[in-house]
Amino acid sequence: MTEKEKMLSGLLYNPGINELESERLYAQDLCFALNQLPPSAVDKRQQLFKKLLGKTTQQFTIMPGFQCDYGYNIEIGDNFFANFNCIILDAAKVTFGHNVLVAPNCGFYTSGHPLDSQTRNSGLEFAKPITIGNNVWIGGNVIVLPGVTIGDDSVIAAGSIVDRDIPSNVIAMGTPCRVYKTLKEH
């Protein structure tokens, strides 16, 4: 099994191999180009994002300051909006549903490191997917950690650190993020 196959399977893998390093450099170059474009270059931005991301739709907006590891593991639904300084570490799949709003300075981190210091110091890491449902609003400065699923129609309050699954139709907040209130289903 290759290191990339291990990465995509959620196993410990070595991110320092040439194939993964070159894929990250490719994504970093595209992110650099995207972040240097003037705000009026909307069509060029969309073209570059469609080249970078694994799956897009016709209607999405991602503001400058965007960074990712690979890009090809990111899928966004219709009417996706990510405000300034969104970081997506996508060593595993990151899926956003339709009508998702992401406030400024948010991070989605699929990558993690072993707790055992000897294994961690060897350079190995793991990645677990993140799934964001439909009609989700993620407030500013939210961090979503590896393996988390956020259900449809939920709101994550600003400043939260989401370290476990959040169900549908709730407001969740805090560090660590917990359900605060259930919302009425429509």
Tens of pLDDT, residues 134-174: 999 999 999 999 999 999 999 999 999 999 999 999 999 99
98 is catalytic: no
Number of separate domains in the chain: 1
Handedness of CA 9, 14, 18, 20 (dihedral sign): positive
The three-state secondary structure class of 113 is coil
Q: For position 116, what pLDDT does the model report?
A: 95
Kindly state the helix (H) or strand (E) to which residue 5 belongs, with its residue range: helix 3-9
Residue numbers of the domain that contains 134 = 3-182
Nearest alpha-carbon partner for 185 in 173, 171, 172, 168: 168
Out of 4, 113, 128, 178, which one is annotated catalytic?
A: 113
Q: What CATH number should be reported for the domain holding residue 134? A: 2.160.10.10
Does residue 35 have a pLDDT over 80?
yes
Confidence of residue 186 (pLDDT cuts 50, 70, 90): low
Instruction: Report the predicted TM-score, pTM, of the whole model to 2 decimal places.
Output: 0.96
What six digits make up the tokens of 98? 């339709």
Measured CA to CA, the distance from residue 9 to residue 94 in angstroms comes to: 14
Instruction: List beta partners, residue 108.
Output: 88, 144
Nearest alpha-carbon partner for 148 in 128, 125, 168: 128
